[in-house]
Amino acid sequence: MSALNLNEDQQDCLQELINVAMGQASDQLARYLDTFVHLKVPSIEQVDAKSLSNSLNDEQMAVAVVSQGFFGYEGIRGEALLIYQPRDSDRLADLLGYEPEELSVEEQIIDLSSILTTTFLNVFAGQIDNQMSYSAPRLLSSTKSLVSEHLHQLSFNWDLALKIKITYQVTDYSFNCDMILLIPESAIINIKTVLNRILDEF
């Protein structure tokens, strides 16, 4: 087993932290958006940079991908990717309560991405006595193309990463999007240290 791999206890601990954060984040988002938000059980796996697009289903079409970096204490950091499908792009204004033509679709996507990313990660950070800061969200592309073509605009300076995939479903608007958290190899070791500390407390 690679030293970067999570053992069973560590993976279970991380899964539970994410599940709790998802529950609280979905409640906060529901209040903010004034509608029910459902988050599917996340998947957690280790990926390498070369196979990332394959693991995200690179044959899938996306109308936009937004990237936002996050940085916490104890060397915890990563990149959040929000992936939007073409069928959902026309529902953003209604979802966010904007008037027609108030903001461009690109601005709406960036706005929603920041809300989804920071809401979840702030709750997650609170559980591990951490605090996150964020880079400005960056719209990789607003043209309908394969997910892999969007990802080509990113430069990954890591070989391995922990990939956490969370799917948001907003029922009143039949809206779905995927949030992918990528935690690079150097930060995986730091995540394991935090998980071990939590496990030792039980």
Q: What is the pLDDT of residue 62?
A: 59
Q: Are 76 and 191 in contact (CB under 8 A)?
A: yes
Q: What is the pLDDT of residue 106?
A: 79
Q: What is the pLDDT of residue 24?
A: 85
Tell me the C-alpha distance between 79 and 93, whole Å.
26
Q: What is the pLDDT of residue 26?
A: 84
List beta partners, residue 14.
none
Q: What is the pLDDT of residue 68?
A: 92
Please report, in angstroms and rounded to a whole number, the separation of the first and last CA atoms in the chain: 25
16 to 1, 102, 124: CA distances (angstroms): 22, 40, 10
Q: What is the pLDDT of residue 123?
A: 92
Which residues, including other chains, have CB under 8 Å from residue 30's CB and lie 6 or more apart? Answer: 36, 37
Q: What is the pLDDT of residue 1?
A: 40
Q: Which fold has domain 8-200?
A: Chemotaxis protein chec (3.40.1550)
List beta partners, residue 64.
84
Which amino acid is present at 71? F
Q: What is the pLDDT of residue 5?
A: 81
What tens-digit pLDDT sequence spans the chain (202 residues)? 455 688 999 999 999 999 998 888 888 878 877 777 777 778 888 888 777 766 665 446 656 788 899 999 888 999 898 888 755 555 666 666 777 677 777 787 888 888 889 989 999 999 999 999 999 998 876 555 556 565 665 666 677 888 898 888 876 666 778 888 989 888 888 999 999 999 998 7
For the chain, domain boundaries: 8-200
Query: How many helices (DSSP H) and strands (DSSP E) are in the chain?
Result: 6, 10
Q: Are 79 and 164 in contact (CB under 8 A)?
A: no
DSSP output for 127-192: HTT---EEPPPEEEE-S-EEHHHHHTT-----SEEEEEEEEEEEGGGTEEEEEEEEEEHHHHHHHH
Tell me whether strands 43-48 and 160-170 are parallel, antiparallel or unpaired.
Answer: antiparallel
What's the predicted TM-score (pTM) here? 0.84
